[in-house]
Structure 1
Amino acid sequence: MKLQVITSNQGKLREFQAALPQVEIIHNDADCDEIQADTLEEVVLSCIEQLRSKGLNNFILDDSGLFVDGLQGFPGVYSSYVLRTIGNAGLLQLMDGRTERQARFKSCIGALIDSEVIIAHGECQGKIAFAESGTEGFGFDPIFIPDGYEVSFAELSLAEKNKISHRGNALRAFSAQFNSR
């Protein structure tokens, strides 16, 4: 089976390739307008419908977000925008002086395979660091410390991160649904 991964993020592409070794992954940077929505799943379903209307099939995509308790769940579904505009430094500045640092990464993976929609979710609990650390990963990885660890996602190898990450958990849930079809 060949699946197109719809993303412009090379980090996500590497995570998909590592997590789904039984599937031939083909990169596709197809255009999908991310709607402003309340949930990651709404964004994913909208993108699936947009791409289906363009005649695409046999693809997978992901929308993920960082939800920070001390910021009432912000940036959440706006994570991509926040990362582009204020980055990790800006988010750390918003956290300055806050003691509530619990956070979670959430991921919603959606796929259209042989015209069937598959949706899977994953989550990883953790906290926001006080400073950036590490050079691996991408996005908010340098400021997110997963529960049970003393280091950020950006200090873990890709294989180690995929064992515990939100996207890794969502990909395992997706794989179980995909394999049971």
Structure 2
Amino acid sequence: MEICFATNNENKVKEVQQMLPDTIQLKTLAQIGCTEELPETQDTLEGNSKQKAAYVFEHFQINCFADDTGLEVYALNNEPGVYSARYAGPQRNNLNNIELLLKNLDGKTDRRARFRTSITLILDEEYFQFDGIVEGRIIEEMRGTNGFGYDPVFVPEGSDKTFAEMSAEEKNKISHRGRAIAKLVAYLSEKLGPTL
């Protein structure tokens, strides 16, 4: 089946494509002719993922899903949260975001954090939501060159590697997005069965 992943983030597209069975053909926004920036004006991850998926479905009449992901740092009242991508400003610069996060955590002993992903799937006009969470901590210096976003400073529970030090396969097995996508794939498999 064909389904659109409603994101302009090429890193996310690559990451998710690796997690999907071959029977699901992922269409990008560019491939369906959507060149505009998707709206993200809600104050929750769930609200943003639903808003983006609804926009694509309404304008392009294609089954689709959208995600919104946030890093929630306990000592910072769950910041940056829904503003993770633009924490340091509208330019959405990963390095600036990490630098601001580390500055705001300076001197704090509690460095626990979690990544949370909310996915909204629209399938034949029906809405479904799937969540994925991974607990971990923020380290003091960046390590690793893989991944994107806050991956170089996030160490998931049970590991001594940052997400940026892991291969894509290692990260996908335990990541927040991997867990949410696994629920999405399980749902599609159950719903569509052999036609998937």
**TM-score, normalised with respect to structure 2:** 0.87
Counterpart for residue 122 of structure 1 = 132
Structure 1 counterpart SS, 2:82: helix
Counterpart for residue 83 of structure 2 = 78
* Residues 118, 180 of structure 2: 8 Å contact kept: yes
Structure 1 residue 36: deviation in Å? Answer: 3.3
Aligned residues: 180
In the TM superposition, structure 1's runs of 4+ consecutive aligned residues that sit over 3 Å from their partners are none
- Structure 2 portions without partners, runs of 5+: 192-196
**TM-score, normalised with respect to structure 1:** 0.94
Distance 2:167 2:189 in 1: 27
Distance 1:92 1:56 in 2: 42
Give the aligned residue type for 2:75: G
Structure 1 residue 50: deviation in Å? Answer: 2.1
Counterpart for residue 36 of structure 1 = 42
Q: Does 1:180 align with 2:180?
A: no
Structure 1 residue 13: deviation in Å? Answer: 0.4
Mean CA deviation greater in 48-57 or 152-161: 48-57
Mean CA deviation greater in 99-108 or 75-84: 75-84
Counterpart for residue 6 of structure 2 = 6
Q: Does 1:110 align with 2:115?
A: no
CA deviations on 1:72-129 (whole Å, 9 max, x unpaired) are 1000111111162632111111111110100000001112122222211000000001
* Residues 85, 97 of structure 2: 8 Å contact kept: no
Give the aligned residue type for 1:16: V
Structure 2 counterpart SS, 1:75: strand
Structure 1 residue 21: deviation in Å? Answer: 2.4
C-alpha root-mean-square deviation of aligned residues, in Å? 1.4
Mean CA deviation greater in 18-27 or 157-166: 18-27
Structure 1 residue 61: deviation in Å? Answer: 1.4
Distance 1:167 1:101 in 2: 21
* Residues 19, 178 of structure 2: 8 Å contact kept: yes
Structure 1 residue 32: deviation in Å? Answer: 1.5
User: Where do residues 148-159 of structure 1 align in structure 2 (5 Å cutoff)?
Assistant: 148-159=158-169
Structure 2 counterpart SS, 1:150: coil
Structure 2 counterpart SS, 1:180: helix
CA deviations on 1:34-79 (whole Å, 9 max, x unpaired) are 0131x21111112222223213321121100000001010001111
* Residues 105, 123 of structure 1: 8 Å contact kept: yes
- Structure 1 portions without partners, runs of 5+: none
Mean CA deviation greater in 156-165 or 79-88: 79-88
CA deviations on 1:128-178 (whole Å, 9 max, x unpaired) are 011111000000100100001111000000000000000000001111111
Structure 2 counterpart SS, 1:35: coil
Structure 1 counterpart SS, 2:42: coil
* Residues 6, 61 of structure 1: 8 Å contact kept: yes
2:177 to 154, 158, 167: 167
